[in-house]
Amino acid sequence: MRTIIRSIQAVSRIFGHAAAGLVLLLIVLMIYEVIVRYLFSAPTVWGYEITTWVMGATFVLAIAYALLTDSHVRIDFLHDWLGERARHGFDLLGYAIVLPLLVWLTWGLWDYWYGAFKTAEKSGQSAWNPLVWPFRLVLFLGVLAWTLQTTAEVVKSALWFVGWRLEAETEPPVPVE
């Protein structure tokens, strides 16, 4: 079980780092677009769509990493007020509610990506008119990573709730005292 959870966490970290790299790419793209648009009066045909896609990819790829690092938005006043065991029980309940929805969303995004890939669907948003399947693939992979990370959080919270916890990555689970 530890190996599976560590593998899922590794994927979440990789996607989080990819999202951070995409933020840097987005900055470069935006600066370029502003310069060519306002200094040279020559806007690009691809600027709007590519920056929208890169921003969307940044968000969707960072979700699993935010869950892994516990840096997502939460109502902390209630969460922090609870004891540690109750907190993990509360988390387990929340993850158990969200997980089926994420599985359903992941399944739907697979169909959404595959349909665009199969038909070579184009955006129709600009003169550039790119294929949309690469962006939809990133959406699918990001939500898949989120689903997997949520599954790992369910397992970790369940272990905590029943009295076991996963220590540092090199140690086996130990009972909570």
Q: Domain span at residue 147? A: 2-175
User: Which residues, in sequence order, are CB contacts of 8 under 8 Å at separation 6+?
Assistant: 148, 149, 151, 152
Cβ pair 92, 159 in contact under 8 A:
no
Q: Is the per-residue pLDDT at 99 higher than 60?
A: yes
**What domain count does the chain have?**
1
* pLDDT on residue 149: 97
Report pLDDT digits (tens) over 129-147: 999 999 999 999 999 999 9
pLDDT, one tens digit per residue, over 12-66 is 999 999 999 999 999 999 999 999 999 999 999 999 899 999 999 999 999 999 9
The candidate with the shortest Cα–Cα distance to 161, out of 93, 104, 72, 102, is 93
Of 103 and 78, the one with more pLDDT: 103
